Amino acid sequence: MNREEIEKRYEEWLACAAGDPELEQELLAMQDDPKKKEDAFFKELSFGTGGLRGVLGAGSNRMNIYTVGKAARGLAAYVKAHFPEGSRRIAISYDSRKNSELFARLSARIFAAAGIEAWIYPELMPTPSLSFAMRTLGCAAGVMVTASHNPAEYNGYKVYGPDGCQITEEAAAQILARIEAEEPFGTGEPLSFEEGLESGRIRLIGEDVYAAYVRQVSAQSVLPAQESIDKNVSIVYTPLNGTGLKPVLRTLKENGYGNIAVVEEQRNPDGAFPTCPYPNPEIREAMTLGIQYAARLNAELVLATDPDCDRVGIAVKGPEGDYVLLSGNETGMLLLDYICARRTEQRTLPEKPVFIKTIVTTDMAERIAARFRVGCINVLTGFKYIGEQIGRLEREGRAEDFIFGFEESYGYLSGSYVRDKDGVVASLLICEMFAWYKSRGIALYDRLEELYREYGFCLNTLHSYSFPGAAGFARMQDIMRSLREDPEVFASVPVTERKDYRDGVDGLPPSDVLRFALEGGGSVVIRPSGTEPKIKAYICVSAPDRAAAARQEAGLEAELARRMVQRTE
């Protein structure tokens, strides 16, 4: 979009903002700032399989009541066009972020006004509980208002299909077409939330659905009823000011884990995330307060869930008494090994057990699964692809064959009761695994080291390169185009195989992903983020020990950084 088109769009928004003082004030503040105008209006906020996600604020490229309202009207039109009248219902949940409840209630009002049953949780609830409610209530679609683990200035609008899984590429394209046909400022005021409740067109998702969800989570325990372990182990938990507090504590306490200290500064919902502006359990800053609590209480396990409670990060005591953050790959490997081992002992593994992971998740997981004769399915990045495979197994009458799935970005699921990663069940299984090993005098860190000795050391790292704004968007496209033309080596390591998933590879749908297999067993996978202006690079290195792996990884990362800079000059 050129400067004249941006200016025209800006003036249109300004003309329609007279009744919205907050929007008008923000628009006037950028009146003499061409760069801010460009970033706010150079495109429509992207809608894809992850729905919407962006910075809060005024403009067509921002999260606000107008972009959200337009998306809700488009989704309503899609549901009316593709589902019979008796099944036209949409479930809604939301997290603790700024405007999450506002966007959720606005959506409910728009759906109800369009003649669709709107089912909404009466309070903030995690992403997996939305997926469960959809499947329980027989919904045609679902909406989760969240930006997951993004910084505080972000919010998002994730859309789910009738299977409780994030929408497919086909559905996203059809919904997008409906959204694009809508006017940005709507055509009339939807009914009020109170009117919707009184008329029955808006309904609250009840305690019975929530309780059933907790029961299904508890059913994923692999601890035999007759086996006694010390569940009074000291655990520190932080919901990072998000949705996890009630469901995680309820589930843990109902399963006997009562010695849980909550990080008070991060206990209550707060979209400003005052003690961790980037509420991502993958990073140490978000875990710092929890680790401080653990050191004071001499706890050996720290749990943190992200704002919509679909991801979990943990810290465990290391050999020197310090606290070590485990990566998503390491926690996933520990859980996979634990689940397979316990179910093998109990003879509860199905005849053809299946484990599912993404292509950027550690290859070491495949070696663990193979030891227990568990089949492995690799899918594209994004848990919705794991959910789709669970659905396929279910249609084949094999839902019970799915025993575990995980992705390197701290998402885990055991069981087919939902179709997205679940921080509640992951928290339960992590605590169970921790207590089981501790009852046998084994620390989680030591068990991880045993796995490395048994299967060989594998180092996996993720590096993100940011490209904000319109210019950054163009640079990202240029980088991916250039990488498709080369390289033949990374940091002097020859590339033995190049896979371009853009046209579909290994039976997977097309995706803007490149994978370079390296001599010696390592790999580099590169893809643009689907939710942020970033390019992500996943490095996997196999080596005899940590030191050798770290040296090789550092060389690969330095080469990647150099290429990113070169491609953006």
Contact between 157 and 71 under an 8 Å Cβ cutoff? The reply is: yes
439 is catalytic: no
CB 418 within 8 A of CB 132: yes
How many other CB atoms are there within 10 angstroms of residue 44's CB atom?
18
Give the per-residue pLDDT at 507. 80
| CATH code given to domain 456-568 | 3.30.310.50
Task: Give the Cα separation of 540 and 552 in Å (integer).
Answer: 10
Provide the phi-psi class of 59: left if phi over 0, else alpha when psi is between -120 and 50, else beta. left
Structure-token match 């932080």, residue found? 238
CATH number assigned to the domain covering 232-451: 3.40.120.10
- Choose the catalytic residue: 96, 100, 131, 148: 148
Q: Do domains 43-212 and 232-451 have the same CATH topology?
A: yes
How far is it, in rounded angstroms, from Cα 135 to Cα 409? 25
Strand partners, 564: none
How is residue 347 written in tokens? 């003879």
- Residue 205 in tokens: 């998702």
Taking residues 78-84, report their average pLDDT. 97
Q: Are strands 489-490 and 89-94 parallel, antiparallel or unpaired?
A: unpaired
- In angstroms, the CA 250 to CA 244 distance is 10
Q: Provide the pLDDT for residue 485.
A: 83
CA distance 27 to 83: 39
Does the pLDDT of residue 567 top 50, yes or no? no
User: pLDDT tens, 387-415?
Assistant: 999 999 999 999 999 999 999 999 999 99
**Dist CA 49 CA 531 (whole Å):** 10
CATH number of 43-212, picked from 3.40.50.300, 3.90.1150.10, 3.40.120.10, 2.40.30.330: 3.40.120.10
Q: What is the dihedral of CA 199, 204, 209, 213, to 10 degrees?
A: 150
Where do the structural domains in the chain lie, given as residue ranges? 43-212, 232-451, 456-568
Residue type, 2: N
C-beta of residue 291 within 8 angstroms of C-beta of residue 227: no
pLDDT for the residue numbered 261: 98
* Residue 468 tokens, joined: 């904000």
549-558 pLDDT tens trace: 899 999 999 9
* Cis ω for the linkage preceding 487 (within 30 of 0): yes
pLDDT of residue 569: 38
Per-residue pLDDT tens over the stretch 214-228 = 999 999 999 988 888
pTM for the full predicted model: 0.92
C-alpha 148 chain-centroid distance: 6
Sign (positive/negative) of CA torsion 496, 502, 507, 508?
positive
